[in-house]
Every structure is written in structure tokens, then in C-alpha cells.
Amino acid sequence: MTVHVIVPDAYDDPLRPSGGNVYDRRLAEALTDLGWTVRVHPVTGPWPDAGPRGRRALAAVLGAVPAGDAAIVDGLVGSAVPDAVLPHTGRARLVLLVHLPLGVADARPDTRARERAALSGCAVVVTSRWAARWLDAHYALPPGAVTVAEPGVDAAEPAAGTASGRRLLCVGAVTPVKGHDVLGEALAAVRDLDWDCTWAGSTAIDPDFAADVLAAARRRGIGDRLRAVGPLSGARLDAAYARADLLVLPSRAETYGMVVTEALARGVPVVASDVGGVRESLGSTDAGVPGVLVTRADPVALAGALREWLSDGGWRRELRRRAATRRTALAPWSATAERVAAALAATGAEP
């Protein structure tokens, strides 16, 4: 049986390497490896608010799915448009893949009502246990409707690390959601210490915000210690992780935080906001957590965690030891695909 994976048109845009886009691509590849025939259908539109034209495009793609075939619809495309999705539930085996519930960022009753309607008519896959709990608390979906399929991660060589731990890395688009303003303030508070910080992410998604954050860094006297290198992928992203001593993730919202496991796959510890599913991606070892979780949008707490990392060699060695242990327990993308395949099987689909 063919499974049709319906995604935003930017899912393979190297200038927008979001976690959701990476997940969609790697899932399609891993399902193929499991024996599924996979067809990927990008749908044009500024999702999730694509307007009538986008809804018509999505409805046309779903309408072209042969009766009885399976379709996995990225939630960014399908969660807000039940009128385009639900008419096809009787003829195709539909699964909505929710990377981040739309209702988390947009609590307007209309948005949540539309998302609830779309999800209630389909099988649902989410990328963290936190997301499953959120949907249960806010939408009360039918029992057994939600499958958790956490992102996988590729095995990688351990990062060499420096004795001082000075090389900090933040991976994510420079936007308010990712919290670069919080990170800039925290870094200014530890400017008396030795560090440099690479920001690997687009500055074009919210250019005004990015310009303001970088200007603030210059005013605080740390502009020359920040390297905003734009979005990275493939070998260039691998090289950034290999160079890093510590991943810093100051996000205001994360469903899972794939960059956390990407860092841990190299044995790189993490300092992150305790939001969404980040606690799940960070995980733990018998010795403890391979990083530090701090309060959301709290530059003082973030600065404190960074100061401890940069000034305490014993603490760095301990976190690196925990990260090295956690590295060996991370699941591959094949495990993600197996969980999604189980959700497809529950609809009656099979390879």
C-alpha cells in the first residue's frame, strides 16, 4: 500500500531547516526502508494560515489520494483546516502528524475548535509525550487516537570539546519563540568570562527581531563574540556540533527539541529552557541529567547555568560524562518510523 506524506512546500528548503521539516523528510525515508511505498506531496501556502487558496490546494491533493491508500498530513498543513481534511476520512486512511499543536501558540477559541475538529476525525501522531498530554487536556481526543513517535537521531562521532568549555552553540531560527533575546541578555551577564557563541539559524524569518537582538548584543559589548552564521544543514551543521562544547536552547516553546538529541549524539551537554517536551529529549542517566534545565524566558537563571558551566571544570566533566552515557541510549529514525507504522496499521494500512 502507498502512504502519501503531505507536507508544507518549504519542507526541503535548506534556508528553513526546522525540526518539523527534518522530521517529515526523515520519516519518509525511514518508512521507505520499512517497505512502504512513499509519495511526498508538498502543498503551497503560508501554513498554517494559507487561506482559501491553500485549503483548495490541500483538498485537491487529498482528493487525488486513491481510495484505501494511507495519508500522513503534517499538522501545520492540516490541523487548522478540518473542512479540507474531514471530507476524505471515509475513503483514505488519514493520520495527522502534529509537531506542535497549533493551540499552544494560538489560544483563540476558533483556532482550537478547528484543530480539535480536524484531530477528532483522524488518527493522530505526536512527537512527544508532552504533546500527547497537551492534546488530552485540551481536546479530549478518543482513547487510543494518539500515538507518540519521538524523533530519531543519527549516530555521530563524539565532539572533541575544549578544556575551557567556551564554545557555545545555539541552533534555531532567530525568532522570539527560540528565545535569542533571552540568550543575548544572559550572555551579556557572563561577559566577564571566556566564551564565544555560534547562532546557527535563519535571521530572515523575523528580520526585525533578529536585527534588534544583534544590535542589543553590540550595545552590550558582546557583538564580536556572537557568530550569526545563518541556517546550517548537512555537513555544515555536523561541523558546528563537532566544534561545540555546550548546546544552549533558550526556547519559549518546544514540542520535543530535536537539536537536544543531535547535540547529545555527539556527547555535547545541554542548557535549555524547561518547556514542552525538552525534558524528554534531554532524558537522564543513572548519574543524572546530561545538562541543565532553566526557567522559561529567565535570563538570570540562564546566565547562572552558563556561569556554572564556564567556571567549574568539575561540573563540565560531570555533564560531559552524563552526555556520553546518554549518547548510547538514543533511538534511531527507524524506531520513529516503526511507531508511525503502528499508527498506520491501526487504520488498516499495511506496506
In a shared domain, residues 259 and 289: yes
Domain-embedded: residue 351: no
Shared domain check, 299 and 218: yes
Cα 238 off chain centre by? 17
Contact predicate 262/333, CB 8 Å: no
User: H-helix or E-strand containing 246?
Assistant: strand 246-249
Domain that holds residue 134: 2-152+331-346
Could you read off the pLDDT of 244-265 as tens digits, one per residue? 999 999 999 999 999 999 999 9
Tell me the pLDDT tens digit for each residue of 176-213. 999 999 999 999 999 999 999 999 999 999 999 999 99
Per the structure, the count of domains in the chain is: 2
Residue 161 lies in a domain: no
Residue 159 located in a structural domain: no
Percent of the chain residues topping a pLDDT of 70: 100
Q: Are residues 194 and 291 in the same domain?
A: yes
Tell me, yes or no, whether 300 and 209 share the same domain: yes
Predicted confidence (pLDDT) per residue in 124-182, tens digit: 999 999 999 999 999 999 888 999 999 999 999 999 999 999 999 999 999 999 999 99
Are residues 315 and 340 part of one domain? no
As beta bridge partners, residue 168 has 197, 246
Q: What is the CATH number of the domain that holds 173?
A: 3.40.50.2000
Q: What is the pLDDT of residues 24-80, one digit of tens each?
A: 999 999 999 999 999 999 998 888 888 888 889 999 999 999 999 999 999 999 998
User: What is the structure's pLDDT at 142?
Assistant: 87
10 φ, ψ to 5°? -90, 15
Task: Give the residues across from 248 on adjacent strands.
Answer: 271
On whether both 77 and 14 belong to a single domain, the answer is: yes
Q: Are residues 193 and 317 in the same domain?
A: yes
Residue with cell 575544549: 162
Tell whether 80 and 215 lie within a shared domain. no
On whether both 47 and 196 belong to a single domain, the answer is no
Mean pLDDT estimate for the chain: 95
Q: 315 and 214 share a domain? A: yes
Peptide bond into 101 cis (omega under 30): no
pLDDT for the residue numbered 294: 98
* 226 lies in the same domain as 97: no
